Structures are given as C-alpha cells and as structure tokens.
Amino acid sequence: MKQLFPTLIFTLLFLIACQPEKVSEHAGASIQQISDKSIKESIDLYGIDVSSFEVHRAEIQSNENLGEILSRYNVSGAQIHEVATLPSEVFDARKLQVNKPYTIIHQPDSERTAKAFVYHPNPIDYVTVHFGDSVSVEQGRNHVDTVMHTLSGTINSSLYMAIVESGGSPTLVMELADVYAWAIDFFGLQAGDCFKVLYSTYEVEGKDAGFGEIVSAIFTHAGEELYAFVYDQGEGKEYFDEKGNSLQKNFLKAPLRYSRISSRFSYSRLHPILKIRRPHLGVDYAAPKGTPVYAVGDGTIIQKNYSRGAGNMLKLKHNGNYTTAYLHLAGFAKGIAPGVKVKQGDLIGFVGSTGLSTGPHLDFRFYKNGVPVDPLKVKPKSAKPIKEEFQATYMEYVAKMTRKLERLKDGETWLAMKKN
C-alpha cells in the first residue's frame, strides 16, 4: 500500500483543472485475436518465401512454453535445447509472454516440420528462429507508420481528464507532464490555463503500435506561454523553449564518489542479513564511512527520519515527477530538515551503515511518478541550451513548428513519415 500511495498522489495532482475542447487522438486497434487455423500464403513473409509452406498464427497461452510449441512442429529435442540456451541478448526463450502473438512457418505435410518460429514481443519488433541443418536467429522490425496528432484543452477541472476525455491517452498525460516537469508546478494549475500539443504515435498495418513523442507544445500557465520543442543537437533528443533554453535539468550520475557498486536494482535479491529473497529497489554504492553524499538535483527535503531497515534516510522531491532517496546514512549535513530546499551538488549527508546493513554504503533510490526505477538506467539530460552552431537552424525549426501549432485544427491527424 505504501508503494501505491505516491502513484495515487501523482494521479490526484492532475485533478486540479482541465476540460477538453475537442477529441484528438487517432484511435488505434489492439492486435486482433488470430485464428489458430493454418493458412497458406504465396508471399514473402519475414524474408521467407512461404509459397510452398503453410503459415500458422497463434498466441502464447498461459503455462505454455516454447518447447511445447516447437515439439508440435517436429522440432528435435536437440534443436529445442539449442534455442533454449541461446544468449538472452539474442533470444530469451524464458521470457515469452502470455497473449503475445507468434507465427510458425512449416511444411505442408502431415509432419508439419517447422522451418521458422517468429515471436512478436511488441507490435513493432519480431525475432525469427530458423530451423534447418542448424539453428539461426535474426531480429526484424515491421514497417512502421508515424502518425501526427494535435490536441488542445482549457483548464477547468483536471489536466488528466482533459486529455483522456478528449481522446488522448494516459501516456500522453505523463509525457506532457514530463516535458514541463521543471517549468510548471502541476499542483498550482489555475482555471483558465490551457495547452496545445503536437505529438506522434506509431502504427503497424493501421493498428496502434505505441506512443511516439511530443513534438511541440504550448502550455499557457498563469498567463504565461511556455513553449516546448523537441530537438537533437547531437546529444539525443531534448526539449527547449522558443529561445533555445533547455526545459529540463540534469541529475548527477551518482550522489557520491564510490569504490564499487555492491548491489544492483532487483525485484528478487537475496538479502545479506535476512537471508530471504525480496526486492531491492535501489543501487548500493560501497564507500568508506563518512564519505560525503550530495543531492543529485535541485529539490526539497520531504523526509528525514530513522527506520530499522533504512537507517538514517533522506528523501528529496525534485519536481512533480522525480524523487530520490538516500538510505543508511551515518548522519545528515548541517541544516538538513524537511522543507529545506537544496541545489544540485549540495552536501546532504554522509555514508554510514545504519539500519539493516552489513557495512558502510549508500542505498540510492530513484522514483519517477512514485514508481521505483533503476538509477543506473536513468539517462541524465544535458540541460544545455542550443549550441551556437545550431541556433539559426533551431530558430527556423521553432518558427515552422509554431505555425503548425497555431494553424492545425484539434483532432487533425496525418501520416507524417514512414519507418522500416
């Protein structure tokens, strides 16, 4: 229940003001249930000429494993073992998910010997396992269409409701909040605030294949227009305003100088003291007792306490989306208390071994929208403005995207580009 509470708070934070004006999102259909009857196709499928084979499509069933599927198509035990022991980065047979579609291409005779097994972990990607004298694997991607959409709303009751009731997805709510996380306090939305957003989604054969990105947006808050434009100046896509200033602030890669990582983020770690498996939703940095610990970003102290498990602990709220926690501290820096604002790099505490700990280390935890995420997988933004050499090109891009935002009608969609 404790883990759910931050997520509920984040959801409630949007219940402050926003009523939709017009429906916008281009609706997509989920992957349809495919009949398990074999069909014959005289086309090229996944790079295979299937004119002399039969094609069987189905979905992974509950408690069904790959060995059971392949054995029905005359695949030998040796080859099944070979597939099962492939490196996980190539194909992990243990991670087949229930209701995910797969395709078997097999001989048309009574033995139905498989030529290939194709697994679809998502609507875009697929993995093909070829059977012959030996087993081979290749990864592929379906042809993807990128579709652009516009959506606008005016704050009346809730930003969340404004987007969802007008046809937008909860994902769009989260993405828009993420773009403006450092610029807008979503607890302080006011009646009359409004937004307009240009965003993309993906489709495969006309069916929804996921959210793309927010391309540009205008959010009017307290009478001030806040622009956002996605742009890549060679360091990955980030969001900037109409003058080229970054909308995002970065985080330090680690809150201390450490000797090694002694334990990683895991949902099932053998606890070194309790000797039971339980989630460890952070990263342990081994460091000598007394090593300084710093705030990884600007924020406000929202928790300072001692608990039997976490020992001396601090929690910092960085904005409406991001929170970090620092556990097992030996002590706190001078002046650290709930409600105190800190800057990135400020000293907040010292490495210790308080609570359930076998030695001095910092257990560092990172939360996005109240949900723990692996700190080592958080990619800090550069938070740098547009470089001088990109200024002219960027300003032309801003002018173009601003015209699109102002000219396009709510709910308008169009095919923007194609991806393979």
Beta carbons within 10 angstroms of residue 127's beta carbon? 19
User: Are the C-beta atoms of residues 315 and 325 closer than 8 Å to each other?
Assistant: yes
Distance between CA 390 and CA 160 in Å, rounded? Answer: 35
**Predicted pLDDT at 104:** 95
Residues 373 and 312 in one domain: yes
Residues 233 and 369 in one domain: no
Residues 157 and 210 in one domain: yes
**Given 87, 122, 157, which residue is the final one in a domain?**
122
Beta carbons within 10 angstroms of residue 110's beta carbon? 7
Q: Which domain holds residue 99?
A: 44-122
Q: What is the pTM of this model?
A: 0.65
**Predicted pLDDT at 294:** 95
The answer to whether residue 36 sits within a structural domain is no
Per DSSP, what are the bridge partners of residue 286?
A: 260, 361
**Predicted pLDDT at 333:** 96
User: Under 8 Å CB-to-CB from 61, ≥6 apart: which residues?
Assistant: 98
| Residue 221, CA distances (Å) to 195, 196, 375 in order | 9, 12, 31
The whole-angstrom distance between residue 360's C-alpha and the CA centroid of its chain comes to 32
Residues 306 and 354 in one domain: yes
User: Are the C-beta atoms of residues 212 and 146 closer than 8 Å to each other?
Assistant: yes
**Given 91, 122, 153, which residue is the final one in a domain?**
122
Q: 24 exposed, middle or buried (CB, 10 Å; 0-12, 13-18, 19+)?
A: buried
pLDDT by residue for the chain (420 residues), tens digit each?
A: 444 444 433 443 334 333 333 333 333 322 333 333 444 444 778 888 888 899 999 999 998 899 999 999 999 999 999 998 888 888 888 889 999 999 999 999 999 999 999 999 999 999 999 998 889 999 999 889 999 888 888 877 777 877 887 778 889 988 998 888 888 767 667 778 888 899 999 998 888 889 999 999 999 888 888 999 999 988 889 999 999 999 888 888 889 987 788 888 776 666 666 566 667 888 999 999 999 999 999 999 999 999 888 999 999 999 878 999 999 999 999 999 999 999 999 999 999 999 988 899 999 999 998 899 998 888 777 678 999 999 999 999 999 998 888 776 555 555 554 444
**Predicted pLDDT at 94:** 85
Of 281, 268, 259, 269, the residue nearest 360 (C-alpha): 259
**Predicted pLDDT at 30:** 29
The answer to whether residue 188 sits within a structural domain is yes
Residues 100 and 172 in one domain: no
Q: Going along 287-351, which residue ranges are E strands?
A: 292-294, 299-307, 311-317, 322-332, 341-342, 347-351
Residues 21 and 168 in one domain: yes
Residues 53 and 194 in one domain: no
Of 248, 260, 288, 269, the residue nearest 382 (C-alpha): 248
Residues 275 and 366 in one domain: yes
The answer to whether residue 138 sits within a structural domain is no
**Predicted pLDDT at 127:** 93
The answer to whether residue 347 sits within a structural domain is yes
**Helix, strand, or coil here: 293?**
strand
Residue 158: its H or E element: none
Per DSSP, what are the bridge partners of residue 240?
A: 229, 246
**Predicted pLDDT at 357:** 84
The answer to whether residue 131 sits within a structural domain is no
The answer to whether residue 93 sits within a structural domain is yes
**Dihedrals phi, psi of 208, to nearest 5 degrees:** -55, 130
Distance between CA 144 and CA 377 in Å, rounded? Answer: 26
367 is written with which tokens?
């939360």
Q: Going along 94-233, which residue ranges are E strands?
A: 101-106, 114-119, 125-130, 136-141, 144-154, 194-204, 207-221, 224-232
**Predicted pLDDT at 41:** 43
The answer to whether residue 21 sits within a structural domain is yes
**Predicted pLDDT at 377:** 85
Instruction: Please count the structural domains in the chain.
Output: 3
Residues 103 and 164 in one domain: no
CATH of the domain at 102: 3.10.450
The answer to whether residue 384 sits within a structural domain is no
User: Are the C-beta atoms of residues 177 and 321 closer than 8 Å to each other?
Assistant: yes
Residues 372 and 305 in one domain: yes
**Given 57, 91, 122, which residue is the final one in a domain?**
122
Beta carbons within 10 angstroms of residue 315's beta carbon? 20
294 is written with which tokens?
């710093």
Amino acid at 338: P
Residues 24 and 99 in one domain: no
Of 359, 353, 349, 357, the residue nearest 291 (C-alpha): 349
Residues 232 and 297 in one domain: no
Distance between CA 110 and CA 75 in Å, rounded? Answer: 14
CA within 13 Å, CB half, 175: 24
139 is written with which tokens?
């990864």
| Residue 219, CA distances (Å) to 176, 400, 419 in order | 10, 18, 30
H-assigned helices in 166-221 = 170-179
Q: Going along 16-143, which residue ranges are E strands?
A: 19-20, 44-45, 48-49, 54-59, 101-106, 114-119, 125-130, 136-141
CATH of the domain at 339: 2.70.70.10
